[in-house]
Structure 1
């Protein structure tokens, strides 16, 4: 900064009557701020100028100072400079207003920005141009006022001239409409562009393609790509990355890989984001070796893996149970200059906890803190879950207190984790107290909260209390899901209240809730246990008619029930049916098959 100041003094001595070199250097200082707080140096230079004889700040000087104040979050001071500019009798232009408008919009002061564009600028003889309107439209859309943004866009079309909307203006509104899921309106605006004589560009097409992909309309996205090409716009890296991402979400990994090769063959160079997207898809599809191959391919093309690359691969390795390899990847990542973030550590901590290595997970937590990273609620929730799973209740409670002492507010997941731990230790009363405590502190329980407590109550034979809990749940606007109903059904079956369990299934279906295979298996087990085999067989047919595919548990339950009833022929038929459907019998089922083949019958 000192050398720049010396240059400034030297320049002024060479041009004692010119403001130009001063503005040039001041602009350079503003755009290349080297100190943590450039404010004193820049203002010192500005004040020096005002005291230099023969030189006066002009509108460009003030524009630079306004820009600097906006960049350093000193909006009030920026307006003070604007006022000073006016008091000096200098004429303003649209460029002077732009940084002020952008800052007002970023601070949600839309009404003030609108007042400047629509009233103050014209009053000062400064007609807003396409940039002024564009900033305001973006501000309106960013603040959820897209409808007003569209109205302003049409006003621009009507007035024409300097404020006639360009492709950037249209793209802004199309983008926000797509983000809001209003694709019909987005496409209407896309067509309106043509009638207004504005040609959509690659950004327009990419925005619409992304919007269609997010809605799951992949076929329409492919059609739009053809329109894009016919209009002379080649798909770029953004287009391909969007499509690859959508294919990965649909588990169409092979198609995604084909698209990557197609992209490369057409001269498009994938970036790290493209590779990360495909790696994530491969890891979710448990194709970890292929994801690792992709990492080597990425490096071979001269690209540098980023924190997302490494974190994605670590997540895949942890899901595969290869925790040591995931830890090695962490060390490799650090050695290559990549800084792991809290998400990276959370994934490793989760992997360690799921593999019962809670002590190692705690070591990783301390290592994370020593590197200056702050654990978040997810970190603590994951560790607490691991401790509860190991039955280390007191250590989990200590961790909760540590979390609160660090200023982190327990969320619904924290409460659910604690409640689950209490229920597993049969401390149902404490779990019920926790629910009351949650509600009294303004914490909103979710369906998972109630499901955990319902499961705990059912396992402790307190089925009657479940009805109260369901009523409380519904009164809070929460809709019981398939897990809620299945859990309650299991409780009723264990208590021998099979008819009530069947009524619950019928009620569930009448309310549009789709039972899953576990739901049917639960009721089937209850019926077989009570010796109502005929009803269990009817339930199997009902299950199949509703599109649910019986699994090994379904067949095993019914075969066991038939055998106990002495209906050997039916049991044999069911065994053959099970095997014909490609289901591998369990050891218990295999023994049953063996006994049946020898003509065994129950005594």
Structure 2
């Protein structure tokens, strides 16, 4: 098998994979070509390499494809690697994973029997009936119980992390005739429970089983208690039991003494450590493991010099007997403590000293050094150390050390180094465990090889991998990034079935993707499942889902989700209420919309006026509108102190629904309740009549107001003029305008704009010019809206210009504003077909009225008829002056370019249009046909 190091022996990775990549634009195209060439022939420096070499493929992905998605797409298409080659990578890792699976099964004499034991123990939940079932099942196996066999079964369960099943087996064995638990079996089960951090369970276990005293008579009762409580993290209580033993004339053996000594060191009971170590020395139990624990005690107190001195003295005293493995662990304790104290240089010197000694096992020290380099983020040094020690001294770390470094590399996104490390593990025939397999899956996800990761995940039962939460999150995120939302959802459902649930960020990304793609049924299932798991998604997730349901017309489903939120006392966001209310309003379900409006107010939200008005309008279009209308009004009045503000909402809503009768009833109800209607109430009531074309009722209402107040104010006059214009009663509107002027009131500019628009549409230009002259005489400027109306009609013909000439000749004096506007009208009418004059019109317009985007759209539309190039220049000038182009602006330019056959330019304009968030009004196919 060709290794990555062999492939890249004479060429750096970047030079091999990226021979022609540069920062220029043309380099990306050449890099795509070089990728295809590499994948097609894989000829490097005159050597031919098989493209299906998995190590080469992984290396290629990490060094190039991950960083250059465009080149990756071209290379995959040209070399056709997406199917066959990726499947080779998947098969390659499957084979490695299966070797790891087989290795774990072969750790023990009879893996089939051990599997059968744990299969029996896994049935049931631990009740009375299940215990009998376990007893019958295990008894039928005809097991020959011995200390060695029990330890083997417990070791197998510990490797599988089946703590509960280990405890069940230990319980069953202890009740079998002819077998008594020994010190080693007790120590094994205590160790399993303590490593699983089930200290309370150890204590309960001791209370239960020590009371029954089903232990071998040669192994003392108190010795079990001392070992158990020491391993359970209660060494001081174990020390008290030891004192009771001594009072009774009993003593511990060498093994128990060292278990107690180690527990005291772990808990930092250093005074007791000294006392027990003296007891060990006095009884002649001192050996290399004693020295190892004492060194660890010094290290925990950061007495590094004393630890080193003690270790050297111990080595000097024991040099005749030889140095056991415990001395290697003593050195590792010192190295580990120095590294954790950030004294890496001193730790390295310690290793070098004991390497020169030659007789002390230094592999544990290597492990400690390697582990701390990885944990402290010194990844380059860790990799360099690994390669150096492997090359010269044959050191191969255990799987745990490899896993630690691999996980750290993945965390820091060092994918190239992670790839090398995986290859190193395969070449060194390191059998992967569950952590390695999870890390490999995450590597493929991060490297963009999602298909390989998914293939390995789908085959997980073949090699016994059980993905953890981090792996599930990584795989789901990678699938979502790859656009495989359905696969991501399937993986999430599988993970939930295994007891895992994704992180909040992963859940939000998946929920967003499901909502965005309209896969609402799956999103609904996901949301209901999360609630069952007591996982409460964020308010934004709910809001997006309910909004998506409302957009899809499934407002009822959104409402159901909302009600479930309310049951768990979650307050929905205001946007959720708005989306639901608008959804039911579109379905003409004003009753539910009104219910949601009241609920929204109860939650402390203040709905906007248009929302309340739309709900009231919806109620007016339902069956029995009066019933629903006044029911909502009654509820609103009961929730807050009655005031004009509340009544005005309903008058306005009735007006938009064109139900002035309901508005009149609310107005009269307000008067009967003792609340004096304010000006806003009168304006809304007047609009209520005008919107329904009830002109006579509006005039009568205005007379009532005049009678009550003595006069009509400016705001009511303005409302009357604008309302009459919208009702197409222009002459009546002009009469009211004249009344305002005669009474010394100043009409709003909105009145003039509505009148000018309506008069221009009926071509009553003489009245228009008179109004503009009146506006100028009052010292008021022409608004953009009025100026645009004049400009539009001036472009459409010369009748407006002629009317202006007649008006000027009839008047001895006109306002300055009208004079300037007349010059503009004349310029437009005289040069209606001259592009150069149109091109310069914006300068004349600036003197007449403030131009806006609509103004420039008119000029561009006229200019594009004869000269698109001048139109482009005008567009640029428009942007320079701060006017934002809108959809119509782009539409005019694109339409004109297509008509003249300038398709490439039109495409560029369409791209700019898309970037601005606009879309063509007409299909470009129609333009090209003109």
Give the TM-score normalised by structure 1. 0.51
Q: Is the 8 A contact 2:399 2:432 kept in 1?
A: yes
Shift of the alpha carbon at 1:239?
A: 3.6
Q: Show the counterpart of 2:365.
A: 169
Whether the aligned pair in 1 keeps the contact of 2:448 and 2:478 (CA below 8 Å) is: yes
Report deviation, 1:270.
1.7
**Counterparts of 1:188-587 in structure 2 under 5 Å?**
188-194=384-390, 195-203=392-400, 205-207=402-404, 209-210=406-407, 213=410, 216=413, 218=415, 221-260=418-457, 267-273=462-468, 274-294=471-491, 304-308=498-502, 312=506, 316-317=510-511, 319-321=513-515, 324-332=524-532, 334=533, 344-345=535-536, 347-352=537-542, 530-531=877-878, 559=890, 573-577=904-908
Spell out, residue by residue over 1:229-276, the C-alpha distance to the aligned partner (whole angstroms, 9 max, x if none).
Answer: 333335554444223213323443223223446776xx5322122555
CA distance in 2, matches of 1:582, 1:566: 14
Distance 1:383 1:86 in 2: 69
- CA–CA distance in structure 2, aligned partners of residues 316 and 68 of structure 1: 47
**Counterpart contact for 1:237–1:271, Cα < 8 Å:** yes
1:589 is the counterpart of 2:589:
no
Cα deviation 1:46-65 (Å, max 9, x = unaligned) = 23212113x34565444333
Measured in 2, the distance between the counterparts of 1:172 and 1:118 equals 16
Indicate if the aligned counterparts of 2:375 and 2:408 stay in contact, CA closer than 8 A. yes
Distance (Å, rounded) in 2 between the aligned partners of 1:227 and 1:307? 33
Is 1:139 aligned to 2:368, yes or no?
no
What is the alpha-carbon distance in structure 1 between the residues aligned to residue 227 and residue 480 of structure 2? Answer: 48
Gaps of 5+ in 1: 335-339, 370-379, 397-526, 537-552
d(CA) in 1 for partners of 2:576 and 2:366? Answer: 51
Change (3 A) 1:557 1:165: farther
Q: Is the 8 A contact 1:310 1:330 kept in 2?
A: no
- Rg bigger for which structure? 2
CA distance in 2 between partners of 1:67 and 1:577 (Å): 76
Cα offset for 1:304? 2.5
Q: SS where residue 429 of structure 2 aligns?
A: coil
Q: In 2 relative to 1, CA 280–593 (structure 1 residues): closer, same or farther, beyond 3 Å?
A: closer
Query: Are the aligned partners of 1:579 and 1:585 in contact in 2 as well (CA < 8 Å)?
Result: no
> Which residue pairs with 2:120 in the alignment?
none
Say whether 1:118 aligns with 2:308. yes
User: Alignment RMSD, CA only?
Assistant: 5.7
- Decide whether aligned partners of structure 1 residues 578 and 202 sit closer, same or farther in structure 2, where only a CA change above 3 A counts: farther
1:133: Cα distance to partner? 1.9
1:161 counterpart SS class: coil
Instruction: Check 1:85–1:586 CA distance in 2 against 1; reply closer, same or farther (3 A cut).
Output: closer
Change (3 A) 1:571 1:269: same
CA contact under 8 A between 1:110 and 1:139: conserved in structure 2? no
- Name the residue aligned to 2:274: 82
Distance 1:574 1:111, change over 3 A: same
CA distance in 2, matches of 1:368, 1:110: 52
Assess if the C-alpha contact under 8 Å between 1:314 and 1:326 holds in 2: no
Q: 1:48 to 1:176 in 2, by over 3 A?
A: closer
Q: Indicate if the aligned counterparts of 1:263 and 1:270 stay in contact, CA closer than 8 A.
A: yes
Kindly state the Cα deviation for residue 220 of structure 1 after the two structures are TM-superposed. 5.3
Per-residue Cα deviation, 1:115-154 (whole angstroms, up to 9, x for no partner): 4431234456588711122223233334444443333322
Aligned length: 409
Structure 2 residue ranges without an equivalent (≥5)? 1-205, 548-557, 581-599, 606-873
**Cα-to-partner distance string for 1:171-195 (whole Å, 9 max, x where unaligned):** 4433433444544322321133232
Residue in structure 2 matching 1:154, options 352, 359, 362? 352
User: Matches of 1:278 and 1:148 in 2, distance apart?
Assistant: 42
CA distance in 2, matches of 1:97, 1:587: 78
Q: Quick one: structure 1 residues 317 and 40, their matched pair in 2 at CA, closer, same or farther if it must change by over 3 Å?
A: same
Query: How far apart are 1:291 and its partner, in Å?
Result: 2.5
Whole-angstrom distance in 2 between the partners of 1:571 and 1:56: 102
CA contact (8 A) 1:50 1:56 kept: yes
Change (3 A) 1:43 1:269: same
Q: Deviation at 1:395?
A: 7.3
**Distance in 2 between the 1:57 and 1:119 partners?**
29
**Pair 78,586 (structure 1): closer, same or farther in 2 beyond 3 Å:** closer
In structure 2, the residue matched to 1:23 is 223
Q: What's the CA shift for 1:216?
A: 4.8
Q: Tell me the secondary structure at the aligned position of residue 921 of structure 2.
A: helix
Report the Cα distance in structure 1 between the residues aligned to 2:291 and 2:539, rounded to whole angstroms: 50
Q: Which has the higher contact order (CA 8 A, sep 6+)?
A: 2
Q: Cα deviations across residues 59-112 of structure 1 (Å, max 9, x unaligned)?
A: 5444333444456x4x2x35324335426853544534656766886xxx5622
Structure 2 CA distance for partners of 1:562 and 1:147, relative to 1, 3 Å: farther
- Paired residue for 1:399? none
1:61–1:268 CA distance, 2 compared to 1 (3 A):
closer
Deviation at 1:290, TM superposition (A): 1.0
**Is the CA contact (8 Å cut-off) linking 2:901 and 2:928 kept in structure 1?**
no
Verify the 8 A CA contact 2:254 2:280 in the aligned structure 1. no
